[in-house]
Structure 1
Amino acid sequence: MTTAFARHKLTFVVHPAAPATQPLSEVWKAITPAAVLALDEFSDADAAAMQAAGVRVIVAMHASARKRWREITTPEHPLGAAQARHLARTHERLGYAYPDDERVGVFADPRLEGVREVCAELGLPAPDVRTVPLDPAAAAEAVQGWLAADPPVTGICAFNDEIAMAVLAGAARLGRNCPRDLAVVGVDDVPGAAVAQPPLTTVVRDFDVDAEHYARNIMAALKGERLPAGAVDDGVRLKIRLNLRPAHAERSPMWTGAAGCGAARSPTRDPRPAPPPAPRCRRSARGTGGRTRAARRRPCRRG
Protein backbone atom coordinates (compact mmCIF):
# COMPACT_ATOMS: atom_id res chain seq x y z
CA MET A 1 0.00 0.00 0.00
CA THR A 2 2.81 2.42 0.88
CA THR A 3 4.48 1.88 -2.50
CA ALA A 4 1.24 2.08 -4.47
CA PHE A 5 0.22 5.39 -2.87
CA ALA A 6 3.75 6.78 -3.25
CA ARG A 7 3.48 6.34 -7.01
CA HIS A 8 0.56 8.78 -6.85
CA LYS A 9 2.50 11.18 -4.60
CA LEU A 10 0.52 10.29 -1.49
CA THR A 11 1.90 9.14 1.87
CA PHE A 12 0.21 6.13 3.42
CA VAL A 13 0.00 6.29 7.24
CA VAL A 14 -1.27 3.39 9.35
CA HIS A 15 -3.07 3.95 12.66
CA PRO A 16 -4.41 0.94 14.59
CA ALA A 17 -7.91 1.44 15.96
CA ALA A 18 -7.44 -0.02 19.44
CA PRO A 19 -8.62 1.18 22.88
CA ALA A 20 -5.05 1.87 24.04
CA THR A 21 -4.18 4.07 21.06
CA GLN A 22 -4.83 7.75 20.51
CA PRO A 23 -8.49 8.58 19.74
CA LEU A 24 -9.23 8.74 16.04
CA SER A 25 -10.54 12.29 16.29
CA GLU A 26 -7.14 13.46 17.56
CA VAL A 27 -5.43 11.77 14.60
CA TRP A 28 -7.60 13.59 12.08
CA LYS A 29 -6.79 16.93 13.71
CA ALA A 30 -3.05 16.24 13.82
CA ILE A 31 -2.37 15.19 10.25
CA THR A 32 -5.50 16.28 8.28
CA PRO A 33 -5.43 13.38 5.80
CA ALA A 34 -6.77 13.76 2.28
CA ALA A 35 -8.50 10.39 2.54
CA VAL A 36 -9.14 7.73 5.17
CA LEU A 37 -9.53 4.00 4.57
CA ALA A 38 -10.76 1.54 7.17
CA LEU A 39 -11.33 -2.21 7.15
CA ASP A 40 -14.92 -1.83 8.34
CA GLU A 41 -17.48 0.95 8.14
CA PHE A 42 -17.24 4.05 10.32
CA SER A 43 -19.53 5.10 13.12
CA ASP A 44 -21.51 8.30 12.72
CA ALA A 45 -19.34 10.01 15.35
CA ASP A 46 -16.09 9.07 13.61
CA ALA A 47 -17.41 10.17 10.23
CA ALA A 48 -18.53 13.54 11.62
CA ALA A 49 -15.12 14.06 13.26
CA MET A 50 -13.31 13.29 10.01
CA GLN A 51 -15.49 15.63 8.00
CA ALA A 52 -15.01 18.38 10.57
CA ALA A 53 -11.24 17.88 10.32
CA GLY A 54 -11.32 18.40 6.56
CA VAL A 55 -11.08 14.82 5.34
CA ARG A 56 -12.35 14.82 1.77
CA VAL A 57 -12.74 11.09 1.10
CA ILE A 58 -13.94 8.43 3.54
CA VAL A 59 -13.69 4.82 2.38
CA ALA A 60 -14.85 1.62 4.06
CA MET A 61 -12.90 -1.29 2.57
CA HIS A 62 -15.22 -3.93 4.06
CA ALA A 63 -18.57 -2.33 4.86
CA SER A 64 -21.65 -4.14 6.12
CA ALA A 65 -25.02 -4.15 4.41
CA ARG A 66 -25.70 -0.55 5.47
CA LYS A 67 -22.87 0.87 3.29
CA ARG A 68 -23.33 4.45 4.37
CA TRP A 69 -19.97 5.63 3.04
CA ARG A 70 -18.12 5.38 -0.19
CA GLU A 71 -16.94 1.79 -0.54
CA ILE A 72 -14.08 0.25 -2.49
CA THR A 73 -14.72 -3.45 -2.46
CA THR A 74 -11.99 -5.89 -1.51
CA PRO A 75 -13.10 -9.25 -2.88
CA GLU A 76 -12.82 -11.89 -0.17
CA HIS A 77 -15.46 -14.40 -1.18
CA PRO A 78 -13.47 -15.50 -4.30
CA LEU A 79 -10.86 -16.86 -1.89
CA GLY A 80 -13.38 -19.16 -0.22
CA ALA A 81 -14.90 -20.03 -3.58
CA ALA A 82 -11.50 -21.11 -4.91
CA GLN A 83 -10.97 -23.34 -1.87
CA ALA A 84 -14.38 -24.96 -2.21
CA ARG A 85 -14.11 -25.61 -5.94
CA HIS A 86 -10.77 -27.30 -5.49
CA LEU A 87 -11.92 -29.53 -2.63
CA ALA A 88 -15.28 -30.32 -4.25
CA ARG A 89 -13.46 -32.20 -7.01
CA THR A 90 -12.69 -35.03 -4.60
CA HIS A 91 -14.84 -34.47 -1.49
CA GLU A 92 -18.58 -34.68 -1.03
CA ARG A 93 -18.84 -32.74 2.22
CA LEU A 94 -16.84 -29.65 3.16
CA GLY A 95 -16.16 -27.84 6.40
CA TYR A 96 -15.02 -24.32 7.18
CA ALA A 97 -12.40 -23.62 9.85
CA TYR A 98 -13.47 -20.27 11.29
CA PRO A 99 -11.00 -18.15 13.34
CA ASP A 100 -11.59 -17.49 17.03
CA ASP A 101 -10.51 -13.83 16.69
CA GLU A 102 -13.61 -11.69 16.16
CA ARG A 103 -11.48 -8.85 14.78
CA VAL A 104 -10.94 -10.74 11.53
CA GLY A 105 -14.61 -11.57 11.08
CA VAL A 106 -14.79 -8.87 8.42
CA PHE A 107 -12.55 -11.09 6.28
CA ALA A 108 -13.78 -14.49 7.44
CA ASP A 109 -17.48 -13.93 6.80
CA PRO A 110 -17.23 -13.16 3.05
CA ARG A 111 -14.76 -16.02 2.57
CA LEU A 112 -17.21 -18.37 4.24
CA GLU A 113 -19.97 -16.99 2.03
CA GLY A 114 -17.86 -17.90 -1.02
CA VAL A 115 -17.66 -21.49 0.23
CA ARG A 116 -21.42 -21.58 0.82
CA GLU A 117 -22.14 -20.27 -2.68
CA VAL A 118 -20.02 -22.94 -4.34
CA CYS A 119 -21.55 -25.72 -2.23
CA ALA A 120 -25.04 -24.57 -3.21
CA GLU A 121 -24.03 -24.28 -6.86
CA LEU A 122 -22.60 -27.81 -6.94
CA GLY A 123 -25.43 -29.38 -4.96
CA LEU A 124 -23.27 -30.15 -1.91
CA PRO A 125 -24.46 -29.82 1.69
CA ALA A 126 -23.83 -26.48 3.37
CA PRO A 127 -20.33 -26.34 4.89
CA ASP A 128 -19.94 -27.52 8.47
CA VAL A 129 -18.56 -24.41 10.22
CA ARG A 130 -16.45 -24.87 13.35
CA THR A 131 -14.27 -22.39 15.23
CA VAL A 132 -10.64 -23.51 15.28
CA PRO A 133 -8.30 -21.83 17.80
CA LEU A 134 -4.52 -21.78 17.30
CA ASP A 135 -4.14 -24.62 19.78
CA PRO A 136 -3.58 -28.30 18.88
CA ALA A 137 -5.88 -29.68 21.57
CA ALA A 138 -8.73 -27.30 20.73
CA ALA A 139 -8.19 -27.85 17.01
CA ALA A 140 -8.36 -31.61 17.59
CA GLU A 141 -11.85 -31.18 19.05
CA ALA A 142 -12.99 -29.46 15.86
CA VAL A 143 -11.39 -32.15 13.71
CA GLN A 144 -13.04 -34.89 15.77
CA GLY A 145 -16.39 -33.20 15.27
CA TRP A 146 -15.93 -33.10 11.51
CA LEU A 147 -14.90 -36.74 11.36
CA ALA A 148 -17.79 -37.84 13.57
CA ALA A 149 -20.36 -36.17 11.33
CA ASP A 150 -22.65 -38.33 9.19
CA PRO A 151 -21.42 -38.38 6.49
CA PRO A 152 -17.96 -37.29 7.66
CA VAL A 153 -16.54 -33.95 6.61
CA THR A 154 -13.32 -34.69 4.70
CA GLY A 155 -12.42 -31.40 2.99
CA ILE A 156 -11.66 -28.29 5.08
CA CYS A 157 -11.55 -24.71 3.83
CA ALA A 158 -9.55 -22.78 6.43
CA PHE A 159 -9.79 -19.03 7.00
CA ASN A 160 -6.04 -18.68 6.46
CA ASP A 161 -2.84 -20.71 6.54
CA GLU A 162 -2.41 -20.40 10.31
CA ILE A 163 -5.85 -21.87 10.92
CA ALA A 164 -5.16 -24.54 8.29
CA MET A 165 -1.97 -25.57 10.07
CA ALA A 166 -3.90 -25.73 13.34
CA VAL A 167 -6.28 -28.18 11.64
CA LEU A 168 -3.30 -30.26 10.50
CA ALA A 169 -1.95 -30.25 14.06
CA GLY A 170 -5.34 -31.30 15.41
CA ALA A 171 -5.57 -34.16 12.92
CA ALA A 172 -2.06 -35.33 13.83
CA ARG A 173 -2.98 -35.24 17.50
CA LEU A 174 -5.81 -37.67 16.74
CA GLY A 175 -3.51 -39.94 14.76
CA ARG A 176 -5.20 -39.02 11.49
CA ASN A 177 -3.35 -38.83 8.20
CA CYS A 178 -3.59 -35.84 5.91
CA PRO A 179 -4.46 -35.95 3.11
CA ARG A 180 -5.66 -39.55 3.31
CA ASP A 181 -8.18 -38.81 6.06
CA LEU A 182 -8.62 -35.05 5.83
CA ALA A 183 -7.70 -32.51 3.14
CA VAL A 184 -7.09 -28.87 4.09
CA VAL A 185 -6.71 -25.71 1.99
CA GLY A 186 -5.50 -22.42 3.47
CA VAL A 187 -5.20 -18.81 2.30
CA ASP A 188 -2.18 -16.47 1.99
CA ASP A 189 0.74 -18.87 1.29
CA VAL A 190 2.73 -17.83 4.36
CA PRO A 191 6.35 -19.10 4.49
CA GLY A 192 5.42 -21.86 6.95
CA ALA A 193 2.89 -23.34 4.52
CA ALA A 194 5.65 -24.91 2.43
CA VAL A 195 7.17 -26.74 5.41
CA ALA A 196 3.93 -27.79 7.08
CA GLN A 197 3.32 -31.52 7.52
CA PRO A 198 2.05 -32.19 4.93
CA PRO A 199 2.94 -29.13 2.77
CA LEU A 200 -0.15 -26.95 2.62
CA THR A 201 -2.17 -26.23 -0.49
CA THR A 202 -3.25 -22.60 -0.27
CA VAL A 203 -5.02 -19.78 -2.10
CA VAL A 204 -2.78 -16.90 -3.16
CA ARG A 205 -3.82 -13.37 -4.01
CA ASP A 206 -1.83 -10.57 -5.62
CA PHE A 207 -1.60 -7.85 -2.97
CA ASP A 208 0.21 -5.50 -5.37
CA VAL A 209 -2.86 -5.51 -7.60
CA ASP A 210 -5.11 -4.81 -4.61
CA ALA A 211 -2.93 -1.91 -3.43
CA GLU A 212 -2.87 -0.29 -6.85
CA HIS A 213 -6.64 -0.68 -7.06
CA TYR A 214 -7.08 1.26 -3.82
CA ALA A 215 -4.61 3.96 -4.80
CA ARG A 216 -6.25 4.61 -8.16
CA ASN A 217 -9.73 4.69 -6.65
CA ILE A 218 -8.64 7.15 -3.96
CA MET A 219 -7.05 9.40 -6.57
CA ALA A 220 -10.23 9.26 -8.65
CA ALA A 221 -12.30 10.21 -5.59
CA LEU A 222 -10.00 13.11 -4.71
CA LYS A 223 -10.34 14.44 -8.27
CA GLY A 224 -14.10 14.06 -8.20
CA GLU A 225 -14.05 11.36 -10.85
CA ARG A 226 -16.33 8.37 -10.93
CA LEU A 227 -14.95 5.26 -9.22
CA PRO A 228 -14.73 2.11 -11.35
CA ALA A 229 -17.71 -0.16 -10.84
CA GLY A 230 -17.32 -3.60 -9.33
CA ALA A 231 -14.54 -5.33 -7.46
CA VAL A 232 -10.92 -5.63 -8.48
CA ASP A 233 -9.77 -8.76 -10.26
CA ASP A 234 -7.01 -9.65 -7.84
CA GLY A 235 -5.65 -12.69 -9.61
CA VAL A 236 -6.73 -15.31 -7.07
CA ARG A 237 -4.91 -18.59 -7.74
CA LEU A 238 -4.24 -21.91 -6.04
CA LYS A 239 -0.78 -23.02 -5.01
CA ILE A 240 -1.22 -26.78 -4.98
CA ARG A 241 1.07 -28.85 -2.84
CA LEU A 242 0.59 -32.39 -1.50
CA ASN A 243 -2.32 -32.35 0.88
CA LEU A 244 -5.22 -33.54 -1.29
CA ARG A 245 -6.19 -37.16 -1.76
CA PRO A 246 -6.58 -38.61 -5.30
CA ALA A 247 -9.74 -37.80 -7.24
CA HIS A 248 -12.66 -40.24 -7.29
CA ALA A 249 -11.95 -41.07 -10.91
CA GLU A 250 -8.43 -42.11 -10.03
CA ARG A 251 -9.41 -44.59 -7.35
CA SER A 252 -8.84 -48.27 -8.00
CA PRO A 253 -11.91 -50.19 -9.28
CA MET A 254 -11.10 -52.81 -6.65
CA TRP A 255 -12.63 -50.53 -4.00
CA THR A 256 -16.01 -48.94 -3.58
CA GLY A 257 -17.83 -47.05 -0.87
CA ALA A 258 -16.81 -44.02 1.16
CA ALA A 259 -13.22 -42.90 1.09
CA GLY A 260 -13.45 -40.09 3.58
CA CYS A 261 -11.65 -39.64 6.85
CA GLY A 262 -11.91 -42.83 8.85
CA ALA A 263 -14.47 -44.34 6.47
CA ALA A 264 -14.17 -48.07 5.90
CA ARG A 265 -13.58 -49.29 2.38
CA SER A 266 -15.36 -52.46 1.34
CA PRO A 267 -13.69 -54.71 -1.25
CA THR A 268 -15.80 -55.75 -4.23
CA ARG A 269 -15.27 -58.19 -7.02
CA ASP A 270 -13.13 -56.90 -9.84
CA PRO A 271 -15.47 -56.55 -12.86
CA ARG A 272 -12.61 -57.03 -15.31
CA PRO A 273 -12.41 -60.50 -16.99
CA ALA A 274 -9.84 -62.91 -15.64
CA PRO A 275 -6.69 -63.26 -17.75
CA PRO A 276 -6.37 -66.47 -19.84
CA PRO A 277 -4.30 -69.31 -18.34
CA ALA A 278 -0.61 -69.29 -19.11
CA PRO A 279 0.28 -71.59 -22.02
CA ARG A 280 2.14 -74.81 -21.33
CA CYS A 281 5.82 -74.58 -21.98
CA ARG A 282 6.71 -76.15 -25.37
CA ARG A 283 9.82 -76.05 -27.43
CA SER A 284 9.92 -76.33 -31.20
CA ALA A 285 12.70 -76.92 -33.65
CA ARG A 286 12.73 -75.78 -37.23
CA GLY A 287 13.58 -78.49 -39.69
CA THR A 288 14.58 -78.37 -43.33
CA GLY A 289 12.35 -76.76 -45.84
CA GLY A 290 10.98 -74.29 -43.36
CA ARG A 291 8.78 -76.87 -41.66
CA THR A 292 8.26 -76.77 -37.94
CA ARG A 293 8.18 -79.95 -35.96
CA ALA A 294 7.33 -80.39 -32.33
CA ALA A 295 10.28 -81.20 -30.16
CA ARG A 296 10.20 -84.00 -27.66
CA ARG A 297 8.54 -82.84 -24.47
CA ARG A 298 10.99 -82.10 -21.73
CA PRO A 299 10.58 -80.57 -18.28
CA CYS A 300 10.25 -76.80 -18.65
CA ARG A 301 13.13 -75.06 -16.98
CA ARG A 302 12.89 -71.40 -16.24
CA GLY A 303 16.09 -69.44 -15.56
Structure 2
Amino acid sequence: MTALSEYERLEAIGLWRADPQAQRRDVILSLGDASLVISDAKAGSALAHWSLPAMIRCNPGERPAIYAPSDEPGETVELDDEVMIAAIEKVHTIIESHRPHPGRLRSFLIGGVVLCVGAVALFWLPGALVDHAARITPQAKRVEIGRKLLTELSKMAGQPCTSPSGDQALAALSKRLPGHDTIVVLPEALMGARLLPGKLAVIGRNAIEGPDTPEVVAGYLIATEDAAAGQSPLKRMLGDLGPSAALRLLTTGNLPDSGITTYAEQLLRQEPTPPPTDGLLRAFRSAGVSSTPFAYALDPTGETVLGLIEADPFKGQPSPRPVLADAQWVALQDICTGR
Protein backbone atom coordinates (compact mmCIF):
# COMPACT_ATOMS: atom_id res chain seq x y z
CA MET A 1 0.00 0.00 0.00
CA THR A 2 1.22 3.46 -0.83
CA ALA A 3 -1.13 5.67 1.17
CA LEU A 4 -0.58 5.94 4.92
CA SER A 5 -3.07 4.63 7.46
CA GLU A 6 -3.42 8.03 9.16
CA TYR A 7 -4.63 9.51 5.86
CA GLU A 8 -7.31 6.91 5.06
CA ARG A 9 -10.57 8.47 3.75
CA LEU A 10 -8.76 11.79 3.35
CA GLU A 11 -10.56 14.19 1.01
CA ALA A 12 -10.02 17.81 0.02
CA ILE A 13 -11.37 20.47 -2.33
CA GLY A 14 -9.25 21.47 -5.34
CA LEU A 15 -9.32 23.01 -8.81
CA TRP A 16 -8.79 20.71 -11.80
CA ARG A 17 -7.94 21.51 -15.42
CA ALA A 18 -8.28 18.87 -18.10
CA ASP A 19 -5.58 20.65 -20.14
CA PRO A 20 -3.73 24.00 -20.01
CA GLN A 21 -6.43 25.74 -22.11
CA ALA A 22 -9.44 24.29 -20.21
CA GLN A 23 -11.43 26.10 -17.55
CA ARG A 24 -10.74 25.17 -13.95
CA ARG A 25 -13.38 23.03 -12.24
CA ASP A 26 -14.14 22.47 -8.59
CA VAL A 27 -13.29 18.90 -7.72
CA ILE A 28 -13.05 16.61 -4.73
CA LEU A 29 -9.70 14.88 -4.25
CA SER A 30 -9.71 11.50 -2.49
CA LEU A 31 -6.48 9.83 -1.37
CA GLY A 32 -6.50 6.10 -2.17
CA ASP A 33 -4.07 3.24 -1.65
CA ALA A 34 -1.97 4.05 -4.67
CA SER A 35 -3.90 6.75 -6.45
CA LEU A 36 -5.50 10.14 -6.16
CA VAL A 37 -9.14 10.09 -7.30
CA ILE A 38 -10.46 13.32 -8.82
CA SER A 39 -14.29 13.66 -8.78
CA ASP A 40 -16.65 16.37 -9.93
CA ALA A 41 -17.70 18.43 -6.91
CA LYS A 42 -21.32 18.69 -8.05
CA ALA A 43 -22.11 15.43 -9.85
CA GLY A 44 -19.71 13.28 -7.82
CA SER A 45 -18.61 11.37 -10.91
CA ALA A 46 -14.95 10.43 -11.23
CA LEU A 47 -12.99 12.59 -13.65
CA ALA A 48 -9.53 11.04 -13.32
CA HIS A 49 -7.36 8.61 -11.38
CA TRP A 50 -3.73 9.65 -10.84
CA SER A 51 -0.99 7.28 -9.76
CA LEU A 52 0.55 8.60 -6.57
CA PRO A 53 4.09 7.40 -7.41
CA ALA A 54 3.91 9.10 -10.83
CA MET A 55 2.53 12.44 -9.62
CA ILE A 56 4.83 15.45 -9.68
CA ARG A 57 4.59 18.83 -8.02
CA CYS A 58 4.92 21.69 -10.49
CA ASN A 59 5.70 24.46 -7.98
CA PRO A 60 7.60 23.14 -4.94
CA GLY A 61 7.31 25.36 -1.89
CA GLU A 62 4.57 27.59 -3.32
CA ARG A 63 0.86 27.92 -2.53
CA PRO A 64 -1.52 26.81 -3.84
CA ALA A 65 0.32 23.60 -4.63
CA ILE A 66 -0.01 22.51 -8.25
CA TYR A 67 0.24 18.81 -9.14
CA ALA A 68 0.24 16.94 -12.42
CA PRO A 69 -0.10 13.22 -13.16
CA SER A 70 3.27 13.24 -14.99
CA ASP A 71 5.80 15.62 -16.47
CA GLU A 72 3.91 15.68 -19.76
CA PRO A 73 1.76 18.79 -20.44
CA GLY A 74 -1.91 18.13 -19.65
CA GLU A 75 -4.02 17.85 -16.51
CA THR A 76 -3.24 19.81 -13.36
CA VAL A 77 -4.76 20.18 -9.91
CA GLU A 78 -4.46 23.21 -7.65
CA LEU A 79 -4.63 22.38 -3.98
CA ASP A 80 -4.58 24.60 -0.90
CA ASP A 81 -5.49 22.07 1.78
CA GLU A 82 -2.49 21.72 4.10
CA VAL A 83 -3.44 18.25 5.33
CA MET A 84 -3.83 16.83 1.80
CA ILE A 85 -0.60 18.50 0.66
CA ALA A 86 1.24 17.02 3.66
CA ALA A 87 -0.19 13.58 2.90
CA ILE A 88 0.86 13.65 -0.75
CA GLU A 89 4.34 14.91 0.12
CA LYS A 90 4.78 12.25 2.79
CA VAL A 91 3.75 9.51 0.38
CA HIS A 92 6.26 10.81 -2.16
CA THR A 93 9.01 10.88 0.47
CA ILE A 94 8.39 7.24 1.39
CA ILE A 95 8.28 6.20 -2.26
CA GLU A 96 11.58 8.00 -2.95
CA SER A 97 13.29 6.33 -0.01
CA HIS A 98 12.44 2.88 -1.39
CA ARG A 99 13.68 3.53 -4.89
CA PRO A 100 17.14 2.26 -5.92
CA HIS A 101 19.81 4.97 -6.16
CA PRO A 102 22.58 3.71 -8.46
CA GLY A 103 24.21 7.11 -8.45
CA ARG A 104 24.39 7.04 -4.68
CA LEU A 105 26.06 3.63 -4.73
CA ARG A 106 28.50 4.91 -7.31
CA SER A 107 29.28 7.88 -5.07
CA PHE A 108 29.87 5.59 -2.12
CA LEU A 109 32.18 3.40 -4.19
CA ILE A 110 34.12 6.37 -5.53
CA GLY A 111 34.34 7.82 -2.03
CA GLY A 112 35.63 4.50 -0.71
CA VAL A 113 38.28 4.33 -3.42
CA VAL A 114 39.34 7.91 -2.70
CA LEU A 115 39.61 7.15 1.01
CA CYS A 116 41.68 4.03 0.32
CA VAL A 117 44.02 5.92 -2.00
CA GLY A 118 44.30 8.70 0.57
CA ALA A 119 45.12 6.21 3.31
CA VAL A 120 47.80 4.60 1.15
CA ALA A 121 49.28 8.00 0.34
CA LEU A 122 49.21 9.04 3.97
CA PHE A 123 50.46 5.92 5.71
CA TRP A 124 52.31 3.78 3.16
CA LEU A 125 53.80 6.15 0.60
CA PRO A 126 56.03 8.23 2.95
CA GLY A 127 57.69 5.11 4.38
CA ALA A 128 58.03 3.54 0.95
CA LEU A 129 59.60 6.72 -0.39
CA VAL A 130 62.17 6.78 2.43
CA ASP A 131 62.94 3.07 1.99
CA HIS A 132 63.41 3.43 -1.75
CA ALA A 133 65.65 6.49 -1.48
CA ALA A 134 67.81 4.85 1.20
CA ARG A 135 68.09 1.65 -0.82
CA ILE A 136 69.12 3.06 -4.20
CA THR A 137 71.46 5.86 -3.09
CA PRO A 138 74.97 4.89 -4.25
CA GLN A 139 77.83 4.59 -1.79
CA ALA A 140 79.63 7.65 -3.18
CA LYS A 141 76.56 9.81 -2.46
CA ARG A 142 76.27 8.30 1.03
CA VAL A 143 79.87 9.27 1.73
CA GLU A 144 79.19 12.78 0.44
CA ILE A 145 76.16 13.15 2.71
CA GLY A 146 78.13 11.77 5.67
CA ARG A 147 80.92 14.29 5.06
CA LYS A 148 78.44 17.19 4.87
CA LEU A 149 76.87 16.02 8.11
CA LEU A 150 80.33 15.81 9.73
CA THR A 151 81.02 19.38 8.61
CA GLU A 152 77.85 20.56 10.39
CA LEU A 153 78.72 18.55 13.49
CA SER A 154 82.20 20.10 13.51
CA LYS A 155 80.68 23.59 13.63
CA MET A 156 78.88 22.62 16.83
CA ALA A 157 81.28 20.16 18.48
CA GLY A 158 84.67 21.38 17.25
CA GLN A 159 86.95 20.26 14.47
CA PRO A 160 87.88 16.57 14.55
CA CYS A 161 90.89 15.73 16.69
CA THR A 162 93.89 14.55 14.72
CA SER A 163 97.50 13.48 15.18
CA PRO A 164 99.68 11.11 13.16
CA SER A 165 99.73 8.32 15.74
CA GLY A 166 96.16 8.96 16.79
CA ASP A 167 94.94 8.76 13.21
CA GLN A 168 96.73 5.42 12.83
CA ALA A 169 94.99 4.18 15.99
CA LEU A 170 91.59 5.21 14.58
CA ALA A 171 92.37 3.37 11.34
CA ALA A 172 93.26 0.26 13.36
CA LEU A 173 90.02 0.58 15.35
CA SER A 174 87.94 0.81 12.16
CA LYS A 175 89.56 -2.41 10.89
CA ARG A 176 88.99 -4.14 14.25
CA LEU A 177 85.28 -3.26 14.15
CA PRO A 178 84.07 -3.89 10.58
CA GLY A 179 81.40 -1.61 9.21
CA HIS A 180 83.24 1.65 9.88
CA ASP A 181 85.49 2.85 7.10
CA THR A 182 86.31 6.05 8.97
CA ILE A 183 86.12 6.93 12.68
CA VAL A 184 86.45 10.54 13.82
CA VAL A 185 86.81 12.01 17.33
CA LEU A 186 84.98 15.27 18.08
CA PRO A 187 86.36 17.23 21.04
CA GLU A 188 83.20 18.84 22.46
CA ALA A 189 79.46 18.38 23.00
CA LEU A 190 79.21 14.84 21.64
CA MET A 191 78.83 12.00 24.14
CA GLY A 192 79.27 8.39 23.10
CA ALA A 193 79.16 7.53 19.40
CA ARG A 194 77.02 8.23 16.35
CA LEU A 195 76.87 6.57 12.94
CA LEU A 196 76.74 8.74 9.82
CA PRO A 197 75.97 7.76 6.23
CA GLY A 198 78.89 6.45 4.20
CA LYS A 199 80.26 4.10 6.92
CA LEU A 200 81.45 7.09 8.90
CA ALA A 201 81.37 7.04 12.72
CA VAL A 202 81.98 9.90 15.16
CA ILE A 203 82.88 9.40 18.82
CA GLY A 204 82.99 11.88 21.66
CA ARG A 205 86.08 12.71 23.63
CA ASN A 206 84.53 11.10 26.71
CA ALA A 207 84.77 7.69 25.04
CA ILE A 208 88.58 7.75 24.90
CA GLU A 209 89.97 10.02 27.60
CA GLY A 210 88.18 8.72 30.69
CA PRO A 211 88.32 4.93 30.29
CA ASP A 212 91.44 2.89 30.89
CA THR A 213 90.71 0.29 28.22
CA PRO A 214 89.80 0.48 24.52
CA GLU A 215 86.85 -1.92 25.12
CA VAL A 216 84.88 1.16 26.19
CA VAL A 217 85.15 3.04 22.90
CA ALA A 218 84.51 -0.22 21.10
CA GLY A 219 81.45 -0.70 23.28
CA TYR A 220 80.03 2.70 22.32
CA LEU A 221 80.39 1.86 18.64
CA ILE A 222 78.92 -1.64 19.08
CA ALA A 223 75.95 -0.34 21.09
CA THR A 224 75.22 2.42 18.59
CA GLU A 225 75.33 -0.06 15.72
CA ASP A 226 73.04 -2.49 17.56
CA ALA A 227 70.59 0.29 18.49
CA ALA A 228 70.13 0.98 14.79
CA ALA A 229 68.27 -2.35 14.54
CA GLY A 230 69.55 -3.02 11.04
CA GLN A 231 68.60 0.37 9.62
CA SER A 232 71.28 2.16 7.66
CA PRO A 233 72.36 5.59 8.92
CA LEU A 234 70.99 7.15 5.72
CA LYS A 235 67.57 5.55 6.23
CA ARG A 236 67.39 6.80 9.81
CA MET A 237 68.38 10.26 8.64
CA LEU A 238 65.73 10.31 5.90
CA GLY A 239 63.17 8.93 8.33
CA ASP A 240 63.76 11.90 10.63
CA LEU A 241 63.88 14.50 7.85
CA GLY A 242 60.69 13.18 6.26
CA PRO A 243 59.47 12.08 2.82
CA SER A 244 60.05 15.51 1.26
CA ALA A 245 63.79 15.16 1.89
CA ALA A 246 63.72 11.63 0.47
CA LEU A 247 61.90 12.89 -2.63
CA ARG A 248 64.45 15.66 -3.09
CA LEU A 249 67.31 13.16 -2.81
CA LEU A 250 65.65 10.99 -5.46
CA THR A 251 64.97 13.85 -7.87
CA THR A 252 68.02 16.09 -7.41
CA GLY A 253 70.60 13.80 -5.80
CA ASN A 254 71.00 16.17 -2.85
CA LEU A 255 69.53 16.86 0.57
CA PRO A 256 68.56 20.38 1.68
CA ASP A 257 71.31 22.12 3.65
CA SER A 258 68.80 23.13 6.30
CA GLY A 259 67.84 19.48 6.77
CA ILE A 260 71.46 18.42 7.23
CA THR A 261 71.95 21.15 9.85
CA THR A 262 68.78 20.16 11.68
CA TYR A 263 69.78 16.51 11.75
CA ALA A 264 73.28 17.38 13.03
CA GLU A 265 71.71 19.30 15.92
CA GLN A 266 69.48 16.32 16.64
CA LEU A 267 72.43 13.90 16.70
CA LEU A 268 74.18 16.02 19.31
CA ARG A 269 71.06 16.55 21.38
CA GLN A 270 69.67 13.01 21.44
CA GLU A 271 71.72 10.02 22.50
CA PRO A 272 70.79 6.67 20.90
CA THR A 273 68.24 4.61 22.83
CA PRO A 274 70.06 1.72 24.58
CA PRO A 275 69.24 -1.55 22.80
CA PRO A 276 67.90 -4.57 24.72
CA THR A 277 70.58 -6.28 26.79
CA ASP A 278 70.21 -9.70 25.13
CA GLY A 279 70.75 -8.33 21.64
CA LEU A 280 73.61 -6.13 22.81
CA LEU A 281 75.37 -9.08 24.42
CA ARG A 282 75.13 -10.99 21.16
CA ALA A 283 76.68 -8.00 19.37
CA PHE A 284 79.59 -7.92 21.86
CA ARG A 285 80.11 -11.65 21.46
CA SER A 286 80.10 -11.35 17.67
CA ALA A 287 82.62 -8.50 17.80
CA GLY A 288 84.85 -10.40 20.24
CA VAL A 289 84.73 -7.60 22.84
CA SER A 290 84.10 -7.78 26.59
CA SER A 291 80.97 -5.88 27.65
CA THR A 292 81.98 -5.24 31.29
CA PRO A 293 84.21 -2.15 30.70
CA PHE A 294 81.48 -0.52 28.65
CA ALA A 295 78.88 -1.33 31.31
CA TYR A 296 80.91 0.40 34.04
CA ALA A 297 81.47 3.39 31.74
CA LEU A 298 77.68 3.79 31.55
CA ASP A 299 77.14 3.28 35.29
CA PRO A 300 80.17 3.17 37.63
CA THR A 301 78.02 1.46 40.30
CA GLY A 302 77.03 -1.31 37.90
CA GLU A 303 73.48 -1.37 39.32
CA THR A 304 71.65 -0.46 36.11
CA VAL A 305 73.85 -2.57 33.84
CA LEU A 306 74.07 -5.82 35.76
CA GLY A 307 73.00 -7.79 32.71
CA LEU A 308 76.00 -6.60 30.71
CA ILE A 309 78.32 -7.46 33.59
CA GLU A 310 76.95 -10.81 34.75
CA ALA A 311 76.38 -12.16 31.22
CA ASP A 312 79.58 -10.75 29.72
CA PRO A 313 80.56 -13.28 27.02
CA PHE A 314 84.20 -12.94 28.13
CA LYS A 315 83.52 -12.73 31.88
CA GLY A 316 85.20 -9.35 32.23
CA GLN A 317 88.50 -10.61 30.88
CA PRO A 318 90.36 -8.82 28.06
CA SER A 319 89.09 -9.76 24.63
CA PRO A 320 90.87 -12.73 23.03
CA ARG A 321 91.79 -10.42 20.19
CA PRO A 322 92.79 -7.00 21.58
CA VAL A 323 90.74 -4.05 20.42
CA LEU A 324 93.92 -1.97 20.15
CA ALA A 325 97.53 -2.51 21.08
CA ASP A 326 98.64 -0.59 24.18
CA ALA A 327 100.63 1.94 22.16
CA GLN A 328 97.69 2.52 19.83
CA TRP A 329 95.35 3.03 22.77
CA VAL A 330 97.68 5.59 24.35
CA ALA A 331 97.98 7.42 21.03
CA LEU A 332 94.21 7.50 20.66
CA GLN A 333 93.73 8.84 24.17
CA ASP A 334 96.13 11.68 23.36
CA ILE A 335 94.65 12.57 19.97
CA CYS A 336 92.88 15.68 21.27
CA THR A 337 95.60 16.89 23.64
CA GLY A 338 97.44 18.85 20.99
CA ARG A 339 94.46 21.10 20.31
Using the size of structure 1 for normalisation, the TM-score is 0.25
Going by fraction, where is helix more abundant, 1 or 2?
2
Q: Which has the larger radius of gyration?
A: 2
Using the size of structure 2 for normalisation, the TM-score is 0.23
